[in-house]
Amino acid sequence: MALMTGEEYIESIRKLNMEIYMFGKRVENPVDDPILRPSLNSVRMTYDLAQMPEYEDIMTAVSPETGKRINRFTHIHRSTEDLIKKVKMQRLLGQQTAACFQRCVGMDAFNAEYSTTYEMDQKYGTHYFENFKNFMFYCQENDLTVDGAMTDPKGDRGLAPHAQADPDMYLHIVERRPDGIVVRGAKAHQTGIINSHEVIVMPTCSMGPDDSDYAVSFAVPVDTKGIFMVIGRQSCDTRKREGSEMDVGNAEFGGVEALVVFDNVFVPNDRIFMCGEAEYAGMLVERFAGYHRQSYGGCKVGVGDVLIGAAAVAADYNGAARASHIKDKLIEMTHLNETLYCCGIACSAEGHPTESGNYIIDLLLANVCKQNVTRFPYEIVRLAEDIAGGLMVTAPSEADFRDGKLGPYVDKYLRGVADVSTENRLRILRLIENLSLGTAAVGYRTESMHGAGSPQAQRIMISRQGNLAMKKKLAKKIAHITE
């Protein structure tokens, strides 16, 4: 089997015995839980589109090792064309779900692990590259969704991992055995892990020799003994339990985050990709972060397309579409959104091969891409809220709209243009609310700030990659300065 259908994917997740908690209780059936199911539907779209002939080129690739067609989310980038198709795929999925579709983290971890394990083996004679390739083939053959877990809780940000008052603030090795290792710690903000089959764990920062126990990377099934997940609370999440499809805004799709605890988890030797090589922790982090910052030039743009469209529809329904300032705001939203896309495409087109042969993006441009993502979606949201009007956050519930006594008054007084139903007007406003303030805001607005690293993380990388010394030389040459 190489490509699962969407329904096969759903049933494969149903078979897992994950330990998931939400609102203080264990979730026995996450697949059908009304709060969690929309996030599963988003991942399903990565399988459904891959089955459609019109999307085959963008959603799938042919593995150069096996010659089989595989889902692009399990593919290793072999050219700048692959990097560009990745961004286009992410924009398409953002357009189709208006939410986080959750497989990007695993795809980016795949490509960072591929080159880093290769280079570690070249120096140390280890077998991490072979371990990773075997894991990769397994995921490709079975079309698995893989979560990438990098972000540790970190505790005191001013202290190195080994210097923390509580050693578990960074995931670390607590026991080395002949057949593997035992790890303990946690990973925070884990996007889509409850909808994944496997999880790749990576270190979260550069490390020194004293941090060798923390320089660890591996993959295990998400239902491995000792792993449990605590679902992150999102704004408006319990609306999904109220039975109001309209009030949710985007009832079919969504995202999910979790705190993932690793409570003395055993990892067999053949699933280990780093085990104490602290000097390579920074390389793995930098490469993963670069790939993931590239990703935001695709996924956030696709969701932005939906938000821009929703704002334009709201303007139509409000009777304001012809106003010059509304047109100008929609132009500005489009300009900002396409600028993000330009950055995603640019860092892909400027990619280059690593020693292992897989392609990495231009790291400077990838970080510029993500730096823009920390800003532009906020302005796009602001303009969407401006166009939508205050009714976006003051409208009565669907229950009031359906009520025999109240409904006629809500319908009468909340209508916009005469030839558009009040229900349709409320539906588009709820979608804007969802993207701006509700559960989808985690996958668009707030995640634009902190996903793939906070703004300062990109600025540090821009400083490192900006080659200021070369630019000084250019200026001195033009100015005929001799020193």
pLDDT of residue 375 exceeding 70: yes
Token readout for 125 is 């004679």
Clarify whether residues 333 and 295 are in a common domain.
yes
Q: Report d(CA 210, CA 451) in Å as an integer.
A: 28
pTM: 0.97
Q: Write out the residue range of the structural domain in which residue 252 sits.
A: 6-282
Among 223, 247, 282, the domain-final residue is 282
Clarify whether residues 222 and 351 are in a common domain.
no
Q: Report d(CA 361, CA 350) in Å as an integer.
A: 6
Cβ–Cβ contacts within 10 Å for residue 8, how many? 13
Clarify whether residues 353 and 241 are in a common domain.
no
pLDDT of residue 136 exceeding 90: yes
pLDDT band at 306 (very low <50, low <70, confident <90, very high): very high
Residue 1 in any domain: the answer is no
Beta strands in 101-248 (DSSP E): 146-149, 172-177, 180-187, 198-201, 216-221, 227-231
Q: What is the pLDDT of residues 389-407, one digit of tens each?
A: 999 999 999 999 999 999 9
pLDDT at 441: 79
pLDDT band at 2 (very low <50, low <70, confident <90, very high): confident
pLDDT of residue 81 exceeding 90: yes
Q: Report d(CA 16, CA 222) in Å as an integer.
A: 8
Q: Which of 232, 236, 142, 218 is nearest to 180 (CA)?
A: 218
344 neighbors 296 (Cβ within 8 angstroms): yes
pLDDT at 86: 98
Q: Is 480 a catalytic residue?
A: no
Catalytic residue (choose from 9, 60, 77, 104): 104
Please give the tally of structural domains in the chain: 2
Clarify whether residues 268 and 398 are in a common domain.
no
Among 224, 254, 282, the domain-final residue is 282
Among 238, 261, 282, the domain-final residue is 282
What is the rounded average pLDDT of the residues 228-252? 95
Clarify whether residues 377 and 241 are in a common domain.
no
pLDDT of residue 420 exceeding 70: yes
Exposure class string for 325-362: b at 16+ Cβ within 10 A, else e? ebeebbeebeebbeebbebbbbbbeebeebebebbbbb
pLDDT at 439: 84
Q: Report d(CA 231, CA 397) in Å as an integer.
A: 26
10 neighbors 40 (Cβ within 8 angstroms): yes
Q: What are phi and psi of 28, to 5 degrees?
A: -75, -30
Clarify whether residues 127 and 230 are in a common domain.
yes
Residue 479 in any domain: the answer is no
**Residue list for the binding site for FAD:** 191
pLDDT band at 446 (very low <50, low <70, confident <90, very high): confident
Catalytic residue (choose from 74, 151, 191, 374): 191
Q: Is 189 a catalytic residue?
A: no
Residue 480 in any domain: the answer is no
Clarify whether residues 78 and 140 are in a common domain.
yes
Contacts of 424 (CB under 8 A, 6+ apart): 317
Clarify whether residues 118 and 42 are in a common domain.
yes
In whole numbers, what is the pLDDT of the chain averaged over residues?
Answer: 97
| CATH code: domain of residue 377 | 1.20.140.10
Residue 126 in any domain: the answer is yes
Residue 137 in any domain: the answer is yes
pLDDT at 69: 97
Clarify whether residues 134 and 37 are in a common domain.
yes
Catalytic residue (choose from 113, 198, 257, 433): 257
pLDDT band at 443 (very low <50, low <70, confident <90, very high): confident
Q: Is 100 a catalytic residue?
A: yes
Catalytic residue (choose from 205, 275, 299, 347): 299
pLDDT at 390: 97
Q: Is 139 a catalytic residue?
A: no
| CATH code: domain of residue 157 | 2.40.110.10
pLDDT at 378: 97
Residue 483 in any domain: the answer is no
Catalytic residue (choose from 47, 214, 296, 359): 296
Token readout for 213 is 């126990």
**Residue list for the binding site:** 191
Phi-psi region of 149 (alpha: psi -120 to 50; beta: other; left: phi over 0): beta
Catalytic residue (choose from 75, 77, 97, 100): 100
Q: Which of 17, 141, 10, 9 is nearest to 74 (CA)?
A: 141
Q: What is the pLDDT of residues 312-335, one digit of tens each?
A: 999 999 999 999 999 999 999 999
pLDDT of residue 82 exceeding 90: yes
Residue 478 in any domain: the answer is no
Residue 139 in any domain: the answer is yes
Clarify whether residues 148 and 237 are in a common domain.
yes
Contacts of 272 (CB under 8 A, 6+ apart): 128, 131, 180, 181, 216, 217, 218
Clarify whether residues 317 and 181 are in a common domain.
no
pLDDT of residue 234 exceeding 70: yes
**How large a percentage of the chain has pLDDT more than 70?**
100
pLDDT at 248: 96
Q: Is 191 a catalytic residue?
A: yes
What is the rounded average pLDDT of the residues 72-95? 98
pLDDT at 400: 98
pLDDT band at 1 (very low <50, low <70, confident <90, very high): low
Clarify whether residues 291 and 266 are in a common domain.
no
Q: Is 299 a catalytic residue?
A: yes
* Three-state DSSP state, 412: helix
Q: How far apart are the first and last CA of the chain?
A: 66
| Helix %, strand %, coil % of the chain (to 5) | 55, 15, 30
CA distances from 414 to 141, 418, 432, 435 (A): 53, 11, 17, 21
Helical residues (DSSP H) of 22-150, grouped into ranges: 37-48, 56-59, 80-97, 104-124, 128-142
